[in-house]
Structure 1
Amino acid sequence: MPPQFRPSPLALAVLGLLEAGPLHPYGMQRLIKQWGKDQVINVGQRTSLYRTIARLEQAGLIAAVGTDRDERYPERTTYEVTDTGRVTTRLWLAEMVATPRNEFPEFPAALSFLMLLSPDEVRLLLAERRQSLTQRLAELDVDLATEIEGYQLPRVTLVETEYLRAVTDAELRWTTEILAALDDGSLTWSREELEALAAIDQS
């Protein structure tokens, strides 16, 4: 019996790309970046891609169909999705779309220990973050252009970018609100205040 495979964005991407036809790992990585899917799928490390492909093959979700030998490039194995892989892709998609997950991103984790910094330090750091978010929002607006070389793209090809823009916009507005609260003093804290609170909790 093949091993159980835990869904991941990268594994879903591999299966999804192979729906269009056989590919080798380099081709998968190139397409993910070319189509802008690297905004939501981490393909920065080639080893992670190869590891995911190996596990998908071991689980019977994809299969090797041939090896290219070209003196200009290293040997490349081409893969295709299996029937089981096609079924699994749709099951994963259904669950990922329908079910919210707590993915434990690092920013909320850092916010949970914000009191270890001073309000002035936090103000400077969040001002830097706001600048980055503003730039990111402008980049996403460019990415949302629905026309490439005169060809009108269907909206469905850009929905993940729409989502990223909405999330980035919401975070930018929240960050601006927190900065305003730090500026007017309605959000502040001191080490002494926190130490006193900790003493109450331990009593």
Structure 2
Amino acid sequence: MTSTFRRSPLALAILSLLETGPMHPYAIQRLIKQWGKDQVVNVGQRASLYRMIDRLDEAGLITTTGTDRDERYPERTTYEVTDAGRAATRQWLAEIVSTPRNEFPELPAALSFLLMLTPETTTELLEQRRAHLARRLADQDAKLETPLPRIIAIEDDYTRAMTRAELTWVEGTLADLRDGSFTWSHAELAPLADASMKAAEA
């Protein structure tokens, strides 16, 4: 079953953290947030974390080591990574780091249908995105004031570079929209749409 387990950032995070020692789900979630990994791994919903832990357990990638009982907290099941889990972690890391993958993010999908909007509306929306990106980049740069060893937070290097690259692209596109070198109209696009429809129906 391990060979068919579908990898995910959350599964990778759980397996990797359990290599530091046995933990219960709450501790895993807390450690992900303490290490800032919640910026690249979605742990906002605890139910998703528990579902993933159950799936990893069923696949034999982790196993239970016991249940903690404390009057202050509900029962907590502790998990540890198995040899199969360690092997899967290294295989996933090798595949992800070495081979680019088309992950179908939302923005390129939206851009591919931007012709549904007007250039004026597009300009307004991209100005809003630029403001969001500028704030995000400022927050990311602020994290540099409390530096960690690079290997602990190397994903911050990547996300900051990606944010900066996207901000540069948005600013360049806004410049083209404002000077008129990038524009369109539904009237001009209508014949192209008609031709495409006829070709699709042929």
Relative to the length of structure 1, the TM-score reads 0.94
How many angstroms apart in 1 are the aligned matches of 2:114 and 2:105? Answer: 15
- 5 Å matches for 1:55-134? 55-134=55-134
Contact 1:146 1:155 in 2 (8 A): no
Per-residue deviation, residues 135-180 of structure 1 (Å, max 9, x unmatched): 0001111223353xxxxx3211121000000000000000000000
Alignment correspondent of 2:35: 35
How many angstroms apart in 2 are the aligned matches of 1:162 and 1:144? Answer: 10
Alignment correspondent of 1:48: 48
How many angstroms apart in 2 are the aligned matches of 1:71 and 1:202? Answer: 67
CA, structure 1 residues 2+116, in 2 after alignment: closer, same or farther (shift >3 Å)?
closer
Contact 1:24 1:78 in 2 (8 A): yes
SS at match of 2:64: strand
Measured after TM superposition, the shift of residue 201 of structure 1 is 2.6
Contact 1:3 1:58 in 2 (8 A): no
Percent pairwise identity: 64
Aligned-residue CA RMSD (Å) = 1.3
May I ask how many residue pairs the two structures share in their alignment?
198
The answer to whether residue 113 in structure 2 is matched with residue 157 in structure 1 is no
How many angstroms apart in 2 are the aligned matches of 1:197 and 1:84? Answer: 54
Q: List runs of 5+ in structure 2 lacking aligned partners.
A: none
SS at match of 2:188: helix
